[in-house]
Amino acid sequence: MARDATRFDPKDVPRGGSQPARRPGVRERRVRIGGVRTAVLESGPRRSGEAVVFLHGVMGSSQDFGDLLARVGRGGRRAIAFDLPGYGRADAAWGFPAGFPGYTRWFARALDRLGVRRAHLVLHDIGGPI
């Protein structure tokens, strides 16, 4: 098998340290949740306690949902996507208790930290079990 065929870093997928794609109406900030700094993408009303929350899967990131975030925000709803620990532009998860229980606790803390009291979930891959 050719060496290039075994690599999972296609040229069109930005590496974790690269600049994210900018989309009109989508804001980005960095927050610390449970000791992990992560990127948060948001659109729509900044302080609404109700939000459409997008949760990526393995090998994904908040960037997977950029276009959807923009559309939901233009529709007048708050939309949020963030990078799970160890993915995308979040801190490496060396000391993080990986597995569904650890990610589930972290996700609950993330919603609380972001002021989300009611969430409409859009889940992909491991986002479902979390």
pLDDT at 72: 94
pLDDT at 38: 93
pLDDT digits (tens, 9 = 90+) for 43-56: 999 989 999 999 99
- Closest by Cα among 44, 55, 52 to 82: 55
pLDDT beyond 50 at 60: yes
Looking at per-residue confidence, does 73 or 19 come out higher? 73
pLDDT at 21: 61
- Is 0.85 surpassed by the pTM of this model? no
In angstroms, the CA 129 to CA 85 distance is 16
Contacts of 78 (CB under 8 A, 6+ apart): 42, 43, 44, 45, 46, 48, 50, 51, 52
- Which of 8-12, 43-47, 93-97, 126-130: highest mean pLDDT? 43-47
Q: Region 63-81: what's the mean pLDDT?
A: 92
**What is 17-77 written as a DSSP string?**
TSPPPP-TT-EEEEEEETTEEEEEEEES-SS-SEEEEEE--TT--GGGGHHHHHHHHHTT-
pLDDT digits (tens, 9 = 90+) for 80-92: 999 998 888 888 7
* Amino acid making up residue 130: I
In angstroms, the CA 55 to CA 73 distance is 16
